[in-house]
Amino acid sequence: MADQTPADSTPAARRLRTIPLFTQLSDEEIARVSAAARERLYPKNSVILFEDDPGDALYVVLSGEVKVVLIGEDGREVILSILRGGDFFGEMSLIDDQPRSAHVIATEASNLMVLRRDEFRECLEQTPRIALGLLRALSRRLRRADDKIGGLVLLDVTGRVARVLLELADEHDGERVPRKITHHMLAQMIGSSRETVSRTLRELADKGLIQVSRKDIAILDRPRLEDLAGL
């Protein structure tokens, strides 16, 4: 009798095991999702989704990095979020049948898993635990959105810069922000100008709260940054 290959031993299935949305699935459920999904490579700076496009798929970031942005009529960008390995996007349009709510652009070469609308809904029906994982992830996003809105309304520019630096550091190692996050990107994340952000970073560095180098931005005094950020 020939040996049977375990359901989660394929490369695609093993990658799915690392995605928080799918970690609670059984081998059979992982195999089902893996069979339905397709992988796509997107070069740096390519547009993955356009705002107002019809929503026809769920995307999971396997590797690389993408940004979710709103673009004004004057061309000004506001970054809503930066997504990396394990994050997903596109689910809102699949749930409410509304057009895409933002642009999604690859900030570096990215490998994405794509699950089309019919396949996504079939997986939800056959694998309820995906729906539970989706609800947990959406709840976390809502909490982060509430925090971001509160920060934009209640904090000055220094407080908003302090908060985003802490959030970005926590996504890394808690102590530093990788230098690939430029001043321009920070400005787009807090709704300010690059010049204002650069000036604020210099002021925070002069006060000994951070250290800016070509390699990264190091967090030197977290308690004082948290105080500025209202945390």
Distance between CA atoms of residues 220 and 33, nearest Å = 44
151: confidence class by pLDDT, cuts 50, 70, 90 = low
- Average pLDDT over the chain reads 82
Q: What percent of the chain has pLDDT over 70?
A: 92
Sorted by where each begins, the domain ranges of the chain are: 11-137, 155-228
Domain 11-137, CATH number (from 2.60.40.790, 3.40.1160.10, 2.60.120.10, 3.40.50.11740):
2.60.120.10
Distance between CA atoms of 211 and 218, rounded to whole angstroms? Answer: 5
Domains 11-137 and 155-228 share a fold: no
Distance CA 222, CA 204 (A): 12
pLDDT for the residue numbered 1: 39
Look up the CATH number of domain 155-228.
1.10.10.10
Residue 4 predicted with pLDDT over 70: no
Taking a C-beta distance cutoff of 8 angstroms, is the pair 55, 98 a contact?
Answer: yes
CB 93 within 8 A of CB 50: no
- Amino acid 26: pLDDT: 80
| Confidence (pLDDT) at 10 | 63
Q: What is the pLDDT of residue 9?
A: 53
